[in-house]
Amino acid sequence: MKPRKPLPRSTKPLPRSTKPIARSALKPRKAKPKSVNHVRRYKRFQYTNLSQARNAFVRSLPCRITGMVPSDPAHVLGIEGMRLKGHYTTIAPLSRAVHDELDNGKGRAAWLKKYGVTEADVARWAAETEAAWQAWCDGGFRDA
């Protein structure tokens, strides 16, 4: 076998790309874990849901629109802002599909119009759910 000649080397610099390389393409950064304030988280849960037993009780009730069981505990009144829920006395049972439409649909007014309900109906549902919970608690069970 004959020895091969080395390839000729170019003295020209390589052309640079006009776009800078994204940092994520070079080395992906690891996301820092978020710190959790457990006391604030517990107090927020107490304010919005009261207890796991109350959530289970509301899930056992039929949906106020479709009548389906199980249902989701939906905060139907007192929405305080993005990712903040109202007080636990503003919960009414809604099916998962209806609850998703309320939270992620075309707005509250469109949701009320679609199902033919009024704000007064929704407030009544929340009051009836709270009254049913209180009656159930007075029947011998008390979750602290």
The pLDDT value given to residue 62? 93
- Tell me the per-residue pLDDT of 4-20, one tens digit each, with 9 for 90 and over: 777 777 667 666 665 66
Q: For residue 144, what pLDDT is reported?
A: 43
Residue 130 reports pLDDT greater than 80: yes
Residue 129's closest CA among 80, 77, 66?
77
Please state the domain extents for the chain. 44-138
Whether residue 59 contacts residue 44, with contact meaning beta carbons closer than 8 Å, is answered with no
Structure tokens at 20: 């800078």
Flag whether pLDDT at 80 surpasses 70: no
> Percent of the chain beyond pLDDT 90?
10
**CA–CA distance from 25 to each of 16, 18, 29, 31, 97 (Å)?**
17, 16, 10, 15, 39
pLDDT tens-digit series, residues 12-58: 766 666 566 665 556 666 777 777 788 887 777 776 677 788 888 88
Q: Name the E strands within the chain.
A: 72-75, 91-94
